[in-house]
Amino acid sequence: MKLCMIGTGYVGLVSGVCFSDIGNTVYCVDKDKKKIDLLNKGIVPIFEPGLEEILKKNYKQKRLIFTSDLKKAVINSDIIFICVGTPTKKNTNSADLKYVFKVAKDLKKIIKKKYKIIINKSTVPVSTGDKIEKILSNLKKKKLIDVVSNPEFLREGEAIRDFIYPDRVVIGTDSNKANRILKSLYFPIIKKTTRYFNTSRRGAELIKYASNAFLATKISFINEIANLCEKAGVDIKDVSLGMGSDERIGDRFLRAGPAYGGSCFPKDTRALIDTGNKFKTDLTIVKSVVNSNDHRKNLLIKRVVKILGGNLKNKIITFLGVTFKPNTDDMRETSSIPMIKYLSKKNSKIKYYDPSGEKDDFKGLNNVKYCDTISSACLNADLVILYTEWNDFKLLNFKKLVKKQKFKIFDMRNMYSPLKMKKLKIKYFSVGR
């Protein structure tokens, strides 16, 4: 089939590349010509393991086309995916849908004769598909389009695997024609364990928000239980294992650590609250999750201050990892940003190393330095904070890395054994233990 992905951000690029890898011709469209030029040179603008190799292979085989010519891409495609951003509106909880509606208005001008399926893959509130269909009402009356919701469930750092081996494929449409075509599109990746789920368009939109809110709830819940474990003398890992062994609960997203971040959970929980308000439904649990997560950021900052005895001036603090999770360069809503900004204002000397490279978020901050090796980052540190659980950090010789013998470690991901650290005579702090 011939597909058009409008937007080459995380969702659009990964989906487009993976669709081309199963035999489709895919047009990836973006108004940012510089980004298109880079992609045509095989340069991937995001950090996602395995993506570059698959992109280059399918580009060479001419199944993958990068262009800024929206009209050409749409005319030559059977299925159009809207994959633009839906950020949080400033000073509100609501999702900003201006980019989605702009695409819809552009499509209205381009589609003239041939039937197209318009798929909203962007994460959007309930009824957004209705509004897109209203914009395209003339095309709908002529039976030239069907508007479908097909939310993505790609995890950053594991996106390619998630695309090839999805837990479910959700298709929101009441059109038998569109459903038949899309089932054929997804057939190569629908395995025996994968459920192809056809529901209403509004149902598909809400499935995405509800899923993310529930996972965010699990993270916030286990973080709060970790707080209790610290005071009760219980190991949070034991609690997580005991809980996760129950099939009704499951062990995924039950790992205590920093506040959740990234491009999805923060904005989607806020947007779900806003959607509830618009439909006059008070989502008290989701509100509590958002509040708990915000509190988590401040709690861990206070923990750092306490570990350092309340005196932060001229303390050398090393961050190993700053992204919200490993195997991604995404810094959106990561709690390392407010933490480092706070410590910088208190005149601490911050050094950080992240496998995904230097971050613009910290440029211009006083006393914040990027190091290109783990050893240079840890040199003479008073406190080493293990913030992101990259594989690079799981087997470190801290005695060798840190020349000062009175250094401390704050392991926010519980990667190391407290008993082992005690034997090494290292002052070690973790979460919920």
- Write out the catalytic residue numbers: 264
- CA atoms 270, 276, 278, 281: torsion sign: negative
Token pair 């937007």: residue: 7
**Contact predicate 85/330, CB 8 Å:** no
Residues forming a β-bridge with 384: 318, 409
Task: Give how far Cα 359 sits from Cα of 283, 298, 320, 369, 372, Å.
Answer: 35, 22, 13, 10, 12
Residue 242: CB atoms within 10 A of its CB come to 12
Rg of the chain (C-alpha set): 24
Instruction: Report the candidate in 404, 413, 350 with the shortest Cα–Cα distance to residue 377.
Output: 350
- CA atoms 336, 337, 338, 340: torsion sign: positive
**Contact predicate 315/349, CB 8 Å:** yes
Residues forming a β-bridge with 26: 3, 64
